Structure 1
């Protein structure tokens, strides 16, 4: 990786139990790192860095080193809460780092790194974040989503990707204005057909006296006046890349209904014009390693630099 590149590659990925699979006894770490390295990412937004804090965070550093010497950050596990922390990895050839923060929340914290582009010294800061919303409580998910909106306060620019453990709210509506999306949008779960009763409780909310799919986090993040832009939806509509709306999880289980688009990238609207593509990678190789697709975003780096400079 070199600062001379004109393309910024951002990868978001939930690697199940940090490569140890559903049982916790598998070992897909080398395979996962090889897959990630093949995309030569400058930013990696990770979920489920399970156990990566042990032994001086050796697993975290091993992954960052395998990706070309990225600078890694991760949230810390808390007693009695989630043991699957998130992480952010940054290419020091592209960015300087101003600050890094851990935002503590009831179930799982999210990691937030504020960076600046080296080639654009007068540019404003960019806040880069990885998140993983609560898997079992819609109310906590809504709180987590509202906390994420604070990163954009006072005109700040933000880029993040997260395992939302919930559903997008605009996809089906987008087909009305964008006929090329016909057949590309995944229908929300038919809960009468979902076998997993616990999953039903975790992923549905009461709305107008009916139990429906939880889309509230996405409504908070990108609904109404739109604090953030759903970058996969932007790629599908504005860039005419319908495959950006491909489902991301679960790639392994079938008792929770068909796969859904729960892993989603977002940014503040100012950054979206720099986006070149969103690719959802859900190959057989990926599904052997984890139950989540790999999300690859590509940005035009000069355009991003210009946007951040004009915003100052």
Structure 2
């Protein structure tokens, strides 16, 4: 691993790698993938029932990826698939931990840290937006914007269950006339000027500019494509398994506040045979320059509680 890099991975591992028959083969595959990716920050979704037995699954995952410090948000009556964050102990000092639960299908897991050698705090969050209700996704996304208030520095990532809003990605959005799963159609489209269109509202809320004002967050896939020339950063992430929901889409995304985004070196959607077997989602890897990230966190205002 390059000592001058900070590696952030976001990954939804379907049902935490456990099959209905109790097999954990997919979990072991996923852990091998993560050990190879060597994240300093891991933003996880679908840590299914990982709170059981004293959090045994959480601690096992932390050990497999290098002894990271784990954080697990709460499961809810609607879903036993909480979000989590794992942090490299050598690189980060944890200062606070928050769980954002108001109106959330999956509460947001949000440790706040100080990067060693930096002056200011960095908010880190794993989220999983609602899969079935576009309006609830909007409310959840507005809650996420509180992590990007003026003066705050943040990296957030997760499963958006919705689509990028930019015009350059519009041609790749689903052709709903050819999507066989009509429940999926109801879950992923909204009414717009008398038509049903793909739901891009969460991405527009997080990373859309407004009347010349900068966005709350930068979508790191778009940042890598437009500022770094890495067009592979816009590769689709899901679904690797379903064939009745149209073509794969870039629904898993990592965002950062603008000053933090400027420290990005590259973004990659990672896919290979083990990943295809382990989950229906690809992991997203964002790599930052350690020195530039430290500088950004020295120049930024303090993170508000």
Query: 1:159 aligned to 2:193?
Result: no
Distance change in 2, residues 1:172/1:311 (3 Å)? same
Residue 275 of structure 2 aligns with which residue?
286
Q: CA deviation at 1:186?
A: 6.2
Match of 1:179 in 2: none
Q: Structure 1 residue 311 and structure 2 residue 296: aligned?
A: no
Judge conservation of contact 1:33–1:66 (CA < 8 Å) in 2: yes
Residues in 2 aligned to 1:307 and 1:293: alpha-carbon distance in whole angstroms: 29
Tell me, in whole angstroms, the C-alpha distance in 2 between the residues paired with 1:213 and 1:128: 28
Query: Hey, what's the Cα distance between the residues in 1 that align with 2:22 and 2:192?
Result: 40
Residue 187 (structure 1) aligned to one of 158, 165, 172:
172
Give 1:26 deviation, angstroms. 4.0
Instruction: Name the CA distance, whole Å, in 2 between partners of 1:221 and 1:208.
Output: 22
8 Å contact kept, 2:149–2:216:
no
Match of 1:228 in 2: 217
Unmatched 5+ stretches in structure 2: none
- The answer as to 2:88 corresponding to 1:99 is no
Counterpart Cα distance in 2 of 1:113 and 1:283: 30
Match of 1:30 in 2: 28
- Give the equivalent residue in structure 1 for 2:194: 209
1:263 equivalent in alignment to 2:252 = yes
RMSD of aligned Cα (Å): 1.4
Tell me how far apart the structure 2 counterparts of residues 276 and 171 of structure 1 sit (CA, whole Å): 24
Aligned-partner SS, 1:195: coil
- Structure 1: distance between partners of 2:250 and 2:92: 30
Instruction: Tell me: CA distance 1:11–1:189, structure 2 relative to 1, closer, same or farther (3 Å).
Output: same
Tell me if 1:170 matches 2:159.
Answer: no
Q: Distance in 2 between matches of 1:44 and 1:263?
A: 14
**What's the counterpart of residue 146 of structure 2?**
150
What does residue 178 of structure 1 align with? none
**Structure-2 residue corresponding to 1:86:** 83
Alignment partner of 2:196: what SS?
Answer: strand
Counting only pairs closer than 5 Å after superposition, residues 55-134 of structure 1 correspond to structure 2 as: 55-79=53-77, 81-106=78-103, 107-120=105-118, 123-134=119-130
Supply the distance in 2 between the matched residues of 1:98 and 1:84 (Cα, whole angstroms). 26
Q: What is the CA distance between 1:311 and its match in structure 2?
A: 1.6
- CA distance in 1: counterparts of 2:159 and 2:228, whole angstroms: 23
Residue among 37, 44, 57 paired with 1:46: 44
Match of 2:263 in 1: 274
1:197 matched to which residue of 2?
182
Checking the alignment, whether the CA contact within 8 Å between 1:100 and 1:114 is kept in structure 2 is: yes
Is the Cα–Cα contact under 8 Å of residues 169 and 218 in structure 1 kept in the other structure?
A: yes
Change (3 A) 1:60 1:260: same
Cα deviation for residue 119 of structure 1 reads: 2.1
Residue 300 (str. 1) matches residue 289 (str. 2): yes
Structure 1 residues 219 and 36: alpha-carbon distance in aligned structure 2, compared to 1, 3 A threshold: same
Q: How many residues align?
A: 295
Q: Please give the secondary structure, in 2, of the residue aligned with 1:192.
A: helix
Rounded Cα–Cα distance in structure 1 between residues aligned with 2:47 and 2:37: 20
